[in-house]
Structure 1
Amino acid sequence: MNLLNDLTGAIWQAHTRLGPHLRETPLDYSQAFSRMTGAQVWLKLENLQPTGSFKVRGALNKLLSLSPEALQKGVVAASSGNHGAGIAYGLQKLGAKGVVFVPEGASATKLEAIRRYGAEVRVFGKSGDDTELYARQYADAHGLTYISPYNDPEVIAGQGTIGLEIAHQMSQPPDAVFVTVGGGGMISGIASYLKSVSPHTTIVGCQPENDAAMWASIQAGRIVSIEARPTLSDGSAGGLEPDAITFALCQNLVDDWITVSEEEIASAMRFFIETQHQLLEGAAGVALAALLKAGIRGRRAIAVVCGANIGLETLRKILQ
């Protein structure tokens, strides 16, 4: 697949595949965020997905693209939580089986979500990078299909259906779209579609200052490793695989980058909870914090609220 040329068609195909299984998430106009920024702000509410995260789009699209034989053998995934829950949800829907490897210290709330859908969970590695490497090796050794959280065209196409929905939900193209970036699958998919229909829309990549591997790689012009620090945005934490196809996509499609502090993330999360009366996780707070920081007065902007899966202890910490 020539990604830049073919992703738009793949996103339409993903939209058709996912239609019977997932509903279109709301794109809500936010009076509170609009007033705070002096802009017109809409929130794409991926926190209302059945698994509480956008990740189910890519995971399920990949599963639906597999042959019956590959599904019958089983799949392997590596995840800090949300991708694993998306895989588990899809496996339950399709009556298939799989193993999800998670790093030590992964969110208990997210692990429980994976188990709730019936997938097997195994713990390996102190970091997400170690977990991903081991999961790939395990899949190869056992003849199983490995499903990356981001480094896969079908996963990217599934996430790209967010961009397709945004384009159809807006009467006019947005001036800017703020998207949290971890491995880059979501922003690659969203940008691929939106740039094809609205090339002047600014795509803004958002990362926590404490763990901004993609931004560091973009600055270096190559994929690099960084020393990550703890962050509320556990859903976007971790480095990039050496051959990550999302790196080139981000280089070509993302127009601007904003990093935010832990206090900025927490403050944005509190504001969202107070004004929108919904839960969100740290990764979603990153995009909202970047939107509040960007200086978008007079513009039409969208922030993708990418997930809702926050543990009670983390929630207490933020609210205090």
Structure 2
Amino acid sequence: MRYELTDLRLFRAIAEAESLSTGASAVFITASSASYRLKNLEHAMGTALFTRTARGMRLTPAGEVLLTHVRELLAGVDRMHGDVSRFSQGLKGSVRLWANSSSLNGFILPSVSRFLLAHPDVNLDLEERLSGAIAEGVATGEVDVGVLAGEVSDSRVRSVRYAVDELVVVTPIDHPLARHPEIRFGAALEFDFICMSRTSSNYLFLAEVAKRDRQTLNARLHVHSFNAVLHLVETGVGVSLVPLSVARPMAESGRVAALRILEPWAARELHLVTSVDAALPSFTAAFVDFLLTDPRVVATRQAAPPGA
């Protein structure tokens, strides 16, 4: 049974992409070389690992089992390199993080810049995902660390309280709603909304709330950053739903009004999740500790709950 770590990394990449060419690109080899290596791995295992279909590569039952072991094995290799490298060159490695919109824009990105400056040999792969998908991604090993809104009941992940935030309605300072420090969300839905992109967790949550309240959401336009959202609100184009952690600087400087929402769903308790099955590499553990001990984040956990 002869195969290399490169074969296992390739196998994982193909399984996650469901494509041989995309998987090959992810590990920086040609498609022809990837095909040869995959055939060699299947020969070594004595069974087919993929079913080739018109839609791409699908794992066979044997492939599903192998993927579980490969993820654990490669995570162990990463931990080994991370733990040894800190004796000679400091922390070195790559961390994959999924986070929902509120945590990513309100807390994580400011922390990330300081962490990267302190640890130049650690790379981060950050993606915005819906809270419902984040715990599953951590549990299956698709991602190392997740930050999401709400409680986590999945026994396959370890969850710790990360930060406390809330969603607010932001309006121009001369807007009719700006006279009220807090409102029912339905009142805001009478006005045009500036929204994040259609695939963002923020917009999908906003659309879900409007649908649940049986009201129409008039999304006047979609943009790709909260900075753009707040600028357009400031100029009077519409109102928006954003995390208070994102809106606070402009609200405190009087450029927009931030209105608290009376509904309980506006309160956002954020949790950080990691897998219970595998110890974190030293560089990932350092990153997690950095996020949890950021003074700005710690302050939210010590403050009164939103709306108190």
Asked if these proteins are the same fold (TM beyond 0.5), I'd say no
TM-score of the pair, normalised by structure 1: 0.26
- Give the number of the structure whose residues are more often strand, by fraction: 2
User: Which of structures 1 and 2 has the bigger CA Rg?
Assistant: 2
TM-score of the pair, normalised by structure 2: 0.27
